[in-house]
Structures are given as structure tokens and as C-alpha cells.
Amino acid sequence: MELISAETSLVIAGAWNPAILTPQWVLKHGLGKDGPDQRVQVFIPAAPNMIFEAPRYALDELAFSVQPNAVVLSPSAITMEKLHILEDAAARTLAELRHTPVSGVGHNFEFRDQDPSAKHLEVFTKSRQDLADRMPGGWDAAAVSIAASFKNAAETVFMNMTRKFDAGCISVKFNFHHPVSSIDQVLAVLKGERGYPRMTENLQMANSLIATLYGGRNGDGL
């Protein structure tokens, strides 16, 4: 199982104004950097039918995009230092925008196995067997997803896990969701206060589950 760096993200759900969160603003208020020598790359993803999505800005330390209902931030590398930089930048940004309505903080990770062993496919075969037995002739199994959710005792963190088998590949997605209703709660999550786990702790938990289920981890150093 390999951790897919590009799918690692910190998501803060709320009501956001893209006109405020420009790269220059995030550099100054989130990362404490200012000046004309700061590098900014802009990517504009194109969805089907040539519908362009929100721009993605890549800075030296992190990348981010702003949608009306969420800010999505990604680290420049999957290390403890870079994940802490990501959270600290988000915390400083929120401290400047205390009137922003917020509803949740998410930590997202994805693992993939391009060549899974037969024993790791059994759970997918069993999950759809009753349906497969009843499908009419001429229909073959294509893909299958298995979703499960867990919550901690305090109900402050919900772990949503989705396993998918498609085109010979197993992917496992983790979403650690933290319901919040105030900026102070968001800041507590980002700083690992009030019993909230930081992003690195949730990644360690995901790594541990992957190791238990699939017998290995990708050596990310966390």
C-alpha cells in the first residue's frame, strides 16, 4: 500500500470569499512571508464539458484552493514538519478571519495498491456475492466500494473509510471529520488542543490500520 501524496489534504468547510484568500494574502497572513520574490504557481483544473473549477495555487510550503463552501490545503511533502506548517498556516489564516462561518475540519488521506494479493480481494468478493449471484446473464463484476464510519468516545472525530476495488487496484480513502461551529473550535483542531488529534496523529492512525489490514506501510516517516 502506497500513500498517495497528491490526495493528502486539510479541508475547512465554511462560507469563504475567494476574493480575500489570494496567494499574496495567504503568504502574508498564513505563512508570514511577504515580498515580490515569493513564487506562486496557478493551476486551473478543467472538469468534463470544459467547466473550469476553482484555481489551485501552489506556494513553496503548501498548495490551496478556495471554493464558496470550503478551503482545501495540501502540504508540499508528507512529513511531520510540512503537515504542521500546513495546520499552522491555516490557524493563522482563521485567526485573521474570525467572523467566517465554519462547519467542519477534515483530514484526508488515500492509499493504493496497484497489485493486490488474492487474500486482500476476498472482502470485496464477499461484499457483492449476494448481488452477483442474482445478476442476469451477460453481466460481469466491474468495481465495488465498501464504506464504514467510526467515531471516538467524545464524538468529536468521525473516521470515514472507503475501500474500493476497480481496474485491478485497491484504494483506501480516509476522511477524519471534526464537526465544528466556531473559529475557536477550528483553531483547537488545527493546534491539537482540547483533546483533538493533529493531522500527523490521524495519519499515524491511518498508517496503523493499513499495516494491520494489508501488512505494510509506505515508510513516510511519521
Could you give the CA distance from residue 179 to residue 152 in angstroms, rounded to a whole number? 12
What confidence score (pLDDT) does residue 219 get? 45
Beta strands in the chain (DSSP E): 2-3, 9-14, 41-43, 46-47, 51-52, 56-58, 62-67, 70-75, 102-113, 143-151, 158-166, 169-179
Segment 156-198, tens digit of pLDDT: 999 999 999 999 999 999 999 999 999 999 999 999 999 999 9
Q: What gap in Å lies between CA 116 and CA 167, rounded to an integer?
A: 11
* Angstrom distance (rounded) from CA 222 to CA 219: 8
Does residue 222 belong to any structural domain of this protein?
no
User: Is 220 a domain residue?
Assistant: no
Q: Looking at the 3D structure of the chain, how many domains does it have? A: 1
pLDDT of 44 reads 83
Q: Report the helix count and the strand count for the chain, using DSSP H and E.
A: 5, 12
The predicted-structure confidence for 54-106, as pLDDT tens digits, reads as follows 899 999 999 999 999 999 999 999 999 999 999 999 999 999 999 999 999 99
The verdict on residue 143 lying in a domain is yes
Residue 146 domain boundaries: 2-214
* 25 φ/ψ angles, rounded to the nearest 5 degrees: -65, -45
Using a pLDDT cut of 90, give the percent of the chain over it.
Answer: 85
